[in-house]
Amino acid sequence: MSILKIILIIIGLLIVVLLLVAAFVKKSYTVEREIIINKPKQEVFDYIKFLKNQDNFSKWATMDPNMKKDYQGVDGMVGFVSSWDSENKNVGKGEQTIKKISEGERIDFDLHFIKPFDGLANAYMSTVSVSENKTKVKWFFSSEMKYPMNIFLLFMNMEEMIGKDLEIGLNNLKNILEK
C-alpha cells in the first residue's frame, strides 16, 4: 500500500469521525446579558425600540465607521429593516428586522447575516422596572449552526464571544442614557 493511499485513508477516517461527532453536538446556542440603567423604564424603552439608536451603543455598529447602512420602513415599528454592509470581516453584511414590539416591555428582532457567512438569529431587548428610576435591560441573542458546521461549537465559546459584545453594548447604552 502506498504512502499516498494511507494518508488518504487517514484523512477519510478523520472526516468520518468529525461528521459522526457533529451529529451529536448541539446546534443551537443562546447568550444573554443584562444591566441596570438609572432611568425610568419607559424612557429606556423609548430609546432602545429604535434600531437606528443601536448605531450609538452596539459594539458591532461601531466597529466600522465606513459601514454602508440602509433602512426600510418606519423605525420603531414592526417591519422596520436596518441593513448593513462592511468590508470589515468582523462586521460583514446583513440585516435586522423588528418582528414584534410589546410596548414598554420588549422588542424582538430577526437577524439575517449574509457575509462572511449566511445565518439567522433571533434577538430581543427587554426592559423591567426595578424601581421608579431604575430599569433592568436584557439583551438576548439566539442562533444555531447547521450540521456539520455545528462541530465548531466545540471550539468556539459563543457565550463568551457574543456575551462580551453584548456587555459592551449595554455599558455604552447605560453611559448614553445616564448622561
- What are the start-end ranges of the H helices in 85-157? none
Q: What share of the chain is helix, strand, coil (3-state, %, to 5)?
A: 35, 35, 25
pTM: 0.84
Mean pLDDT of all residues belonging to the chain: 93
Per-residue pLDDT reduced to its tens digit, 36-67:
999 999 999 999 999 999 999 999 888 898 89
pLDDT of residue 1: 73
Q: Which domains does the chain have, with CATH numbers?
A: 28-177 (3.30.530.20)
Sort strands 119-131 and 106-115 into parallel, antiparallel or unpaired: antiparallel
pLDDT of 120 over the 90 cut: yes
